[in-house]
Structure 1
Amino acid sequence: MPIRIVLAEDQYLVREGLSRLLDTRDELEVAAACGDVDSLLDAVEAERPDVVVTDIRMPPGGTDEGIQAAIRLRETHPEVGVVVLSQYAVPGYALALLEGGSERRAYLLKERVTDIAQIVAAVEAVAEGGSMLDPKVVDALVAESARAEGSPLNELTPRERDVLREMAEGKNNAAIAEALVLTERSVEKVIHSIFLKLGLGWETAVHKRVKAVVLYLAESS
């Protein structure tokens, strides 16, 4: 069965283009396309989708409606995954999205829309209960945190930093191993070392691991 999606984007041409792009994939099905947050919430009630893909700013306020919708859906439809698309690589927005939990949540920059594989990866991740954070947001968090005097991040080896970035993006051990050309056992050892140096509790669930790392980076920056 394809992953059923409700799409929300206030700009008509962008909405139509993204809808058609998603519909080119057999594993995805766009059940509804909306132009504002109220229509989005109504469509979720009517269509019962697996995933919502939403712009961060929509009518009526044009501020952070996408994130507010995600927070509301956490309460009303916790089984629905949400991918927020934003043109802002601002850690604060991503943290607001993850505040109530990182499970079934993803934050991607709009520039990724041209790469269908990235969008599909995010949709599949949240549909399966995972999470994903845009690499540019992760890089911004790591850079800010590393500048802090006495930051434990400065104790990490280059390999540990590479794994930290991959982990914060929402990748599991197998995906990290593939990306960095390592064995899964090596990745596990590196992650243990990272969590030890950063003083974080060990987490096996990927979405909890993402939240732990991202909150650490935010508090350290």
Structure 2
Amino acid sequence: MTSEMEALYPFLYAGKSEPDAVLAEVRRSTEEKAAEIVALRESLAESHAERLVRCARELAARFLDGGRLFAFGNGGSSSDAQRVVGLHACPPPPARPLPAMSLPHDVASVTALSNDVGFEVVFARKLAALGRRGDIAVGFSTSGGSANLLRAFEEAGRLGMVTVGFAGYDGGKMAESGMVEHLFVVPSSSVHRIQEAQTTLYHVLWELTQRALAGEL
């Protein structure tokens, strides 16, 4: 446990007993991480700009035709799924509310399917029950290799839903499978930086979708 803690917080185990020295190291570490995420976000603006616009236009068209958005992810990514749903269903005014649901936050269904069938189907089974052609499936993963996301995207494709994925590293199996029509990869090996950058990406996508719905994109 000590070695794990030391890897996470090396400045606390560097033999420094002076509070000023520890605070200086904390400040340096914080500034370094802040600079890293700023640089990463700026790089994404260039690499994903056209892809974000194309995706926003398709999402707007689906919503105008009565489509609904279903978001999903595991762990911290489930919080991102919930945030995306909140942005769409309960947006700040004067933005337009849109139908959206977070699949991992239906605890009864998630635990029932996990217990009775298997965790790899918790999202796919929900999409099979609720999804239809014209809907939108949005999945979040840092690794891009979550089995239950891949099963969900497979089911979404079978139903004729548009698929949107957010992944880290090199996109993992989400990229390899070719099942995700609109894939946004954050090229980082840090889970923290990946999730921070994904937050930026889906906020921008939501804003662009709102503009597309208003005929401004």
TM-score by length of 1: 0.40
Bigger relative CO (Cα 8 Å, ≥ 6 apart)? 2
**Structure with larger Rg:** 2
TM-score by length of 2: 0.41
